[in-house]
Structure 1
Amino acid sequence: MKNLELLFDAAWKVLAVGLLLGAGLPAIFATGIRAMAYGQGGSAEIDSTARPHPVGRVIGILCFALVAAAIITGITIIVASGFGKAVSFDHIIPTIVDKKH
């Protein structure tokens, strides 16, 4: 019975990470694209007479920064493990530390 509990505990974690990275990051990127079109106004919108909205540009830039941060963090984790290191999130900002054996 304990094995079944461990299985379901691991399965929901894999599902959550899969949804976040598999669908979440592309959705955030798409939101950024849509926000940039809203911020541009004019022919980027369906109504070609739409005025530019600076808030759309700010939201788009924030979305792109979030996606870029996730990509950079992922690459950092991969490279750090290749050098025998680990990435620690103990102080919110990711830092590269020695692996604990």
Structure 2
Amino acid sequence: MWLSALNGFWQVLLAGLLLGSGLPILFALGVKSIAWAHGDLPDRAANPAGKLVAGALFAVVLLAVLLGLSYIVAHGFGYTLVWNGMLPSFTHK
């Protein structure tokens, strides 16, 4: 009983760390990449690869936010979000 509770605790802690600090870090790195793309960093020349990196980082953050909102809205309408392979889908409770 204690081991299953401890296992659940670590899963919640890991999810909180990834979503609570991971997404803001990815967003900050995206902003830094835009500055890199425009050459706004000291001692750095402009690099167009920064736009590509920033776009990828912002896409990951946007997908995580949309997935979270979808989860909340689905539960409000009586659906649940399930993972079938790589893609999430909604099923009626």
Q: Which runs of 4 or more aligned residues in structure 1 lie more than 6 Å from their structure 2 counterparts after TM superposition? A: none
Aligned residues with identical type, % of pairs = 34
Give CA deviations for 1:30-81 in whole Å, capped at 9, x if unaligned: 111111111111xx2124xx43211111000100000000000000000000
**TM-score normalised according to structure 1 size:** 0.86
**Structure 1: gaps of 5 or more residues:** none
* 1:45 has 2:41 as partner: yes
Is 11-20 or 83-92 further displaced after alignment?
A: 83-92
Is 27-36 or 88-97 further displaced after alignment?
A: 88-97
- The alignment covers a number of residue pairs equal to 93
RMSD across aligned C-alpha pairs, in angstroms?
Answer: 1.1
Which has the larger Rg?
1
Is 72-81 or 5-14 further displaced after alignment?
A: 5-14
**TM-score normalised according to structure 2 size:** 0.93
Q: Is the strand fraction higher in 1 or 2?
A: 2
**Structure 2: gaps of 5 or more residues:** none
